[in-house]
């Protein structure tokens, strides 16, 4: 089975994660897909296959060389983003000849290079698109497909020498919980690569420092006819708070290494209201400054409206650069592998995070490698088929090059 066939099979599984469920995996579909994957790993002939009740999969491709080669791993996640439905995904493979792609005739949903000019880079290629009703799931079922296909290829081509390779698949990465129950000691690798990047060539070992913030507002509701000098409208407190944050530090106004405050949810009435933000910055000092600003604005509102405003703040993950850069050779190996299979590496910071960010701080350095997709988390997501193939080839080449260097 080639990586495209695997991908088209996996996206049919509804594995959308759910931050509110309070269990792991956060949705039952992830465990259903995990069981299917275990069957395929058994068919390939991998060893030490394990699947726990939380949907963490680990497996081993044994070494076929007598050389002393470091044990490395490849990791991807099973879940898809809750930003858009992952149920009843209807993928279509189209040969892209340029111009607009009509995803859904009934609702006239169009994937257009006018909005997404990167489409022009794939003229003449087969690409996988959605029907405009759901996301596609290339994040990260493309990564899962590339890893499993690479292991199958190595298993079927013993002439390619490689050391012991471990693979792992995690649940709930999209809600920031993918590394929560990952057993680094059991995985047993010196380092690993997450196959969770976007466009072909992406190679990343820097990511945001990340925090989640919820600001709650308590109002005082009285009849509006007699409200003068009495009413405190919690929804208006929320709007006042939001207006105090720097407008130029929103996602739509930032790029590259610039951080942001991103308002992801708001609820409100006169009596109570809340704002939920994600806070991001590559620079640790600027990250801490952002968190301090959130608290200072809470203090400011409480001075003006006593006991009205509270802040819940929790760190989610940190910039993996701190842990990966001292072992930069693991990035260099991926760079060399990409080049060897005809891919131009694009080394850039992740404007987001991966399981690898947290795993790096748990003792498993994890740079991130492309899986090939674009426009993740939405109906315009697409996956160029040759990019998926090159992701698989990069994994194979990493294993091969590491053996030659050992």
What mean pLDDT comes out for the span 117-122? 97
- Overall pTM surpassing 0.85 (yes/no): yes
User: Given a cut of 90, is residue 388 above it in pLDDT?
Assistant: yes
Q: What is the pLDDT of residue 350?
A: 87
Q: Which percentage of the chain shows pLDDT scores above 70? A: 100
In angstroms, the CA 348 to CA 165 distance is: 26
Q: What is the pLDDT of residue 163?
A: 97
Q: Average pLDDT, whole number, for the chain?
A: 96
The CATH code of domain 3-207+319-405 reads: 3.40.630.10
User: Given a cut of 80, is residue 335 above it in pLDDT?
Assistant: yes
Active site residue 173: yes
Q: What is the pLDDT of residue 176?
A: 85
What mean pLDDT comes out for the span 365-371? 97
Cis peptide before 140 (omega within 30 of 0): yes
Residue 85: exposed, middle, or buried by beta-carbon count in 10 A (0-12, 13-18, 19+)?
middle
Q: What is the pLDDT of residue 355?
A: 87
Domain boundaries, the chain: 3-207+319-405, 209-316
Q: What is the pLDDT of residue 19?
A: 87
What mean pLDDT comes out for the span 277-293? 97
Could you report the per-residue pLDDT of 247-281, keeping only the tens digit for each? 999 999 999 999 999 999 999 999 999 999 999 99
Helices of type H across 164-259: 184-187, 234-244
In angstroms, the CA 5 to CA 40 distance is: 13
What mean pLDDT comes out for the span 315-327? 93
Task: Decide if 91 contacts 8 (C-beta within 8 A).
Answer: yes
Active site residue 79: yes
Specify whether domain 209-316 bears CATH 1.10.150.120: no
Catalytic residue among 14, 79, 206, 281: 79
In angstroms, the CA 332 to CA 330 distance is: 5
Q: What is the pLDDT of residue 218?
A: 98
Q: Could you tell me the pLDDT band of residue 68, with boundaries at 50, 70 and 90?
A: very high
Q: Could you tell me the pLDDT band of residue 385, with boundaries at 50, 70 and 90?
A: very high
Q: What is the pLDDT of residue 14?
A: 98
Could you report the per-residue pLDDT of 146-195, keeping only the tens digit for each? 999 999 999 999 999 999 999 999 999 999 899 999 999 999 999 999 99
DSSP state of 104: E
* H or E segment to which residue 274 belongs: strand 272-281
What mean pLDDT comes out for the span 17-40? 96
Catalytic residue among 14, 161, 173, 202: 173
Determine the straight-line distance between the first and last CA of the chain, rounded to whole angstroms.
31
In angstroms, the CA 382 to CA 124 distance is: 15
Q: What is the pLDDT of residue 353?
A: 76
Task: Decide if 201 contacts 344 (C-beta within 8 A).
Answer: yes
Same fold, 3-207+319-405 and 209-316: no
Q: What is the pLDDT of residue 352?
A: 79
Could you report the per-residue pLDDT of 81-117, keeping only the tens digit for each? 999 999 999 999 999 999 999 999 999 999 999 999 9
User: Given a cut of 90, is residue 367 above it in pLDDT?
Assistant: yes
Q: Could you tell me the pLDDT band of residue 55, with boundaries at 50, 70 and 90?
A: very high
């Amino acid at each position: 089975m080639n990586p495209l066939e695997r991908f088209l099979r996996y996206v049919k599984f509804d594995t959308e994660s759910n931050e509110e469920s309070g269990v792991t995996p956060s949705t039952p579909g992830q465990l259903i897909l995990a069981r299917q994957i275990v069957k395929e790993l058994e068919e390939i002939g991998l060893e030490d296959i394990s699947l726990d009740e939380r949907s963490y999969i680990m497996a081993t491709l044994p070494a076929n060389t007598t050389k002393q080669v470091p044990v490395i791993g490849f990791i991807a996640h099973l879940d898809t983003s809750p930003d858009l439905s992952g149920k009843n995904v209807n993928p279509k493979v189209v040969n892209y000849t340029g111009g607009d792609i009509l995803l859904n005739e009934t609702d006239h949903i169009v994937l257009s290079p006018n909005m997404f000019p990167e489409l022009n880079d794939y003229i003449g290629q087969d690409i996988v698109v959605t029907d405009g009703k759901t996301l596609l799931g290339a994040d990260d079922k493309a990564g899962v497909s590339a890893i499993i296909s690479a292991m199958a290829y190595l298993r079927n081509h013993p002439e390619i020498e490689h050391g012991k390779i471990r693979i792992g698949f995690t649940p709930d990465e999209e809600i920031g919980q993918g590394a929560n129950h990952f057993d680094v000691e059991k995985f047993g690798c010196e380092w690993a690569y997450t196959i969770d990047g976007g466009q072909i060539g992406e190679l990343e070992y820097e990511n945001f420092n990340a925090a989640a913030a919820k600001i709650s507002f308590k109002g005082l509701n009285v009849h509006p006819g007699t409200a003068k000098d009495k009413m405190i409208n919690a929804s208006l407190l929320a709007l006042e708070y939001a207006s105090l944050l720097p407008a130029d530090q929103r996602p739509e106004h930032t790029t590259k290494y610039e951080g942001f405050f991103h308002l992801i949810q708001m609820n409100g009435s006169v009596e109570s209201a809340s704002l939920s933000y994600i806070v991001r910055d590559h620079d640790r000092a600027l990250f801490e400054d952002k968190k301090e600003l959130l608290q200072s604005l809470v203090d400011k509102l409480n001075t003006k409206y006593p006991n009205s405003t509270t802040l819940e703040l929790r760190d989610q993950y940190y910039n993996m650069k701190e842990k990966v850069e001292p072992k930069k050779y693991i990035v260099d190996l991926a760079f060399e592998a990409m080049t060897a299979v005809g891919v131009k590496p694009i080394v850039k910071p992740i404007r987001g995070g991966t399981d690898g960010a947290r795993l790096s701080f748990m003792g498993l350095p994890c740079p991130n490698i492309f899986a090939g997709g674009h426009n993740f988390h939405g109906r315009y997501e697409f996956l160029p088929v040759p990019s998926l193939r090159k992701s698989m080839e990069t994994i194979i080449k990493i294993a091969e090059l590491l053996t030659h260097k050992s």
